[in-house]
Amino acid sequence: LSYAGRMVMRTVEWRDGKIAMIDQRALPHEFIMAEYADYRQVAAAIRDMVVRGAPAIGVAAAMGLALASLQSLAKDRPALLRDLESAEKELRAARPTAVNLGWALDRMLRRAREVSLVSAGDVRVALVAEAQAMADEDVAVNKRMGVHGASLIRDGDTILHHCNTGGLAAVDYGTALGVIRCAHEQGKRVHVLVDETRPRLQGARLTAWELKQWGIPFTLIVDNAAGHFLRTGRVSLVMFGADRIARNGDVANKIGTYKLAVVGRENGVPIYSVAPTSTVDLALLDGDAIPIEERDPREVTDIGGVRIAPEGIAVANPAFDVTPHRYITGIVTENGIAYPPFDVSLPQLVESQ
């Protein structure tokens, strides 16, 4: 990520036995880098959204498990594996919807269990290297998605974007916002309509911050204005990320995505989800089985720490919704763009390299 024209750091980084993360709760007002030396604090940072966005929490969890291997006092491999299995459960429970979290931890555990690793020391070295490799791969995957997705954007397009899918949601570069960034780097003139994305305001705080750094023209709107812009013909396409995509192409993403997709479809605007293949959960046949995180009611009743709703009322705060595949025009991955029928195209893309 860059700030004021200079490279700052990745969203999440391994630094000499510690994990450094940009504290996304403080942006855009303050740029704070937090350091973690305890995997339990990493789990808490994922829960509290110091780090957020499906690919970013996957890599943060992988690094958390590498940290757990260094924290463990186990002297032999079996004892270390037992410690890792309990740390893994804690990290996995931090947030339920984004499948990247479980995907990253599964990959780390597979690596730890490889028979070629004989001693506890072998496992520790391998896990630190694996987590760092995942971070590097994430950046490369985002750039590949950027190129595939940019082919969908024409010079002069206006793109409606939801939540934050930029460098902050990944290790660097971004998914849907990475596509927009790639089109901009190719010299296409693009304009972004930025949904503020209540209740956590990832659009107003983070997407606006990133687009401003990149010099990409944008206009911030409240979520409730999106339908107005879609109906009046001012949106060329809608682009958002994904936290989990079922085999049939149903997409779980930040709350409010479903409404955008339905209104977009009603007005003939193409709808694209942009996500790495690690976000595709082929084990789920459709989106109904995707767990939807329910977050603290205070995210709804309070704004900027100030209570705006009466005390003692009922509040629901689902953090994600599921958009049925019939509203999705295409799904951009690092291996290409999937089109309906997704239950055929998605498995092909996930399995191709």
> Checking DSSP bridges between strand 218-221 and strand 191-195, what pairing results, if any?
parallel
Q: Which is nearer to ligand MRU, 128 or 242 (CB)?
A: 242
Residue span 11-50 as binding mask against ligand MRU, x where in contact by CB under 6 A, dash where not = ----------------------------------------
Q: Does 53 sit near ligand MRU (CB under 6 A)? A: yes
CA–CA separation, 65 vs 76, rounded Å? 17
Q: Does 328 sit near ligand MRU (CB under 6 A)? A: no
Which residue intervals of the chain are DSSP H helices?
39-47, 54-71, 77-92, 99-112, 120-150, 176-185, 202, 208-214, 226-231, 257-266, 298-301, 342-351
Q: How far is the CB of 46 from ligand MRU (least distance, A)?
A: 9
CB atoms within 10 A of CB 83: 16
User: Which pair of tokens denotes residue 13?
Assistant: 């980084």
CA-only gyration radius of the chain, Å: 20
Which residues in 103-162 contact ligand MRU (CB under 6 A)?
Answer: none
Tell which one of 27, 50, 55, 280 touches ligand MRU (CB under 6 A): 55
Q: Does 254 sit near ligand MRU (CB under 6 A)? A: yes
Which residues in 84-103 contact ligand MRU (CB under 6 A)?
Answer: 98
Q: Does 277 sit near ligand MRU (CB under 6 A)? A: no
> Checking DSSP bridges between strand 244-246 and strand 191-195, what pairing results, if any?
unpaired
Which residue intervals of 32-119 are DSSP H helices?
39-47, 54-71, 77-92, 99-112
Contact indicator for 334, 141 with CB cutoff of 8 Å: yes
Q: Which residue is nearest to ligand MRU (CB)?
A: 241
Q: Does 207 sit near ligand MRU (CB under 6 A)? A: no
**Residue found under tokens 């994990």:** 19
Q: How far is the CB of 327 from ligand MRU (least distance, A)?
A: 16
Q: Does 163 sit near ligand MRU (CB under 6 A)? A: yes
Q: Is 330 helix (H, G, I), strand (E, B) or coil?
A: strand
Tell which one of 243, 281, 321, 334 touches ligand MRU (CB under 6 A): 243
Q: Which is nearer to ligand MRU, 254 or 265 (CB)?
A: 254
Q: How far is the CB of 79 from ligand MRU (least distance, A)?
A: 34
CA–CA separation, 302 vs 179, rounded Å? 33
Q: Which is nearer to ligand MRU, 131 or 242 (CB)?
A: 242
Q: Does 284 sit near ligand MRU (CB under 6 A)? A: no
Q: Does 202 sit near ligand MRU (CB under 6 A)? A: yes
Q: Does 287 sit near ligand MRU (CB under 6 A)? A: no
